[in-house]
Amino acid sequence: MRTLWIVSGGSEALPGIRRAKEMGLHVVVSDGNPKAPGALLADDFVLASTYDVNATVEAAKRYHREKRPVNGVISVAADVPLTVAGVAADLGLPGIPLETAQLASDKLAMKQRFAEKNIPIPWFCAVDSSARLRELVGQSGFPLVIKPVDSRGARGVLRLSEKVDLEWAFNQAKENSPTGRVMVEEYLSGPQISTESLLLPDKAYTPGFSDRNYEFLDRFSPYIIENGGEQPSTLSVSAQEAVKRCAEAAGRAMGIEAGIAKGDMVLTSEGPKVIEIAARLSGGWFSTDQIPLATGVDLMGAAIKVALGELPSGEELTPRYQRGVAIRYFFPEPGMITAIHNVEKARQIPGVYKLDFFLGPGDMVEPVTNHTKRCGYVITSGADRSGALNRAAEVIATVRIETRRV
């Protein structure tokens, strides 16, 4: 029995752990939380922070030497490419190069690589002070986006306009960067798309393609908060192909020969452009649930094969159908949750695939400043896109989350 090491044991990793066990693998999960949901599901659990590269590498070496050989390493819905690449490099396992993982962990270095390789991207610049930010705004005008170079979950990401205090915005971005580094870039107008590609040495496949929903851009301004997405896309086939080729080229430019490239893309009037590429399986139940539900592609299983040094077939990565799938989030008023009503009634709505909450009665709903502040979610399916969207809207309207100001 081969062994797969999964870096992350959060709730979003559970489908990946289950899939690996279905494939007959011995699953080791490492996480910094001893009560991580994946700890109970795994065959073995190792306590090591997903963000602590050295601790995870040392734990994996010890396990590999003393307990059983590790044959592959992967993360599921956790933005820890350096940790995964570190384990792979030290144990001689398949995986992306350390340089690629470093690029995936540093948005500024990533953009610089894309510029060198002629990958279409927005204008960008490092910014080291609020004075420099004011200077750049004077040169480029609004709107712009300011963000930490090395954070995740939209923490510290702000859309700059005339209404935003630039010194406050710079400090917000800097405070959310582990290394205190900030960058600013052009705000791109046009449809925003989430892609998920599996790059193989001889060909690339992109079964994941979802239109992102930013209907609350003004409501949560200046924070840039996504409210889910939907499949299939409304973009033309030719536009979709152009976006896919651009995302795949960006993954290659980062040095991914065999592995996942998750793209944040925008289709501008000048063509597709890359916001960023993550060298990992996506979160938000996109790779684990939404893609297989919409297309029939087992992307999780294919990614596990690659982590073990195998190459899945093109047939495995080619969509078998296009069903409607939508995900939406709950954004109740800030305060303490006193009750959540009509949950079971909402679960009985046809097409409800998953309905869950991150918070419950007694928990505090904080103001929405990044993607970790969302209260819950629903994933729906339908014969087509509109069917899935209508069902998601019905669930959001049915569930009532009461909060009390504290």
Q: What is the CATH number of the domain that holds 89?
A: 3.40.50.20
Question: What residue numbers bound the domain in which 129 lies?
Answer: 123-186
d(CA 54, CA 86) in angstroms, rounded, equals 8
- 151 has a pLDDT exceeding 90: yes
Nearest to 96 by CA among 245, 259, 250, 248: 259
Any domain includes 100: no
Any domain includes 160: yes
* Domain count along the chain: 4
**Domain CATH number, residue 166:** 3.30.1490.20
Mean pLDDT computed over 69-98: 97
How would residue 184 be classed by pLDDT, with cut points 50, 70 and 90?
very high
- 406 has a pLDDT exceeding 90: no
| Residue 152 shares a structural domain with residue 252 | no
| Residue 245 shares a structural domain with residue 293 | yes
| Residue 200 shares a structural domain with residue 252 | yes
Q: Helices (H) and strands (E) in the chain — how many of each? A: 14, 19
| Residue 46 shares a structural domain with residue 171 | no
| Residue 85 shares a structural domain with residue 146 | no
Using a 10 angstrom Cβ sphere, with 0-12 exposed, 13-18 middle and 19 or more buried, the burial of residue 362 is exposed
| Residue 218 shares a structural domain with residue 133 | no
- 5 has a pLDDT exceeding 90: yes
| Residue 198 shares a structural domain with residue 312 | yes
Residue ending a domain, choose from 287, 322, 357: 322
| Residue 332 shares a structural domain with residue 306 | no
Any domain includes 222: yes
| Residue 300 shares a structural domain with residue 228 | yes
* Average pLDDT over all residues of the chain: 97
| Residue 368 shares a structural domain with residue 288 | no
Any domain includes 78: yes
How would residue 246 be classed by pLDDT, with cut points 50, 70 and 90?
very high
Any domain includes 221: yes
| Residue 202 shares a structural domain with residue 274 | yes
Nearest to 279 by CA among 94, 79, 59: 79
Any domain includes 118: no
- With beta carbons less than 8 A apart as the criterion, state whether 391 and 349 touch: yes
| Residue 308 shares a structural domain with residue 384 | no
- 41 has a pLDDT exceeding 90: yes
Instruction: Specify the pTM.
Output: 0.95
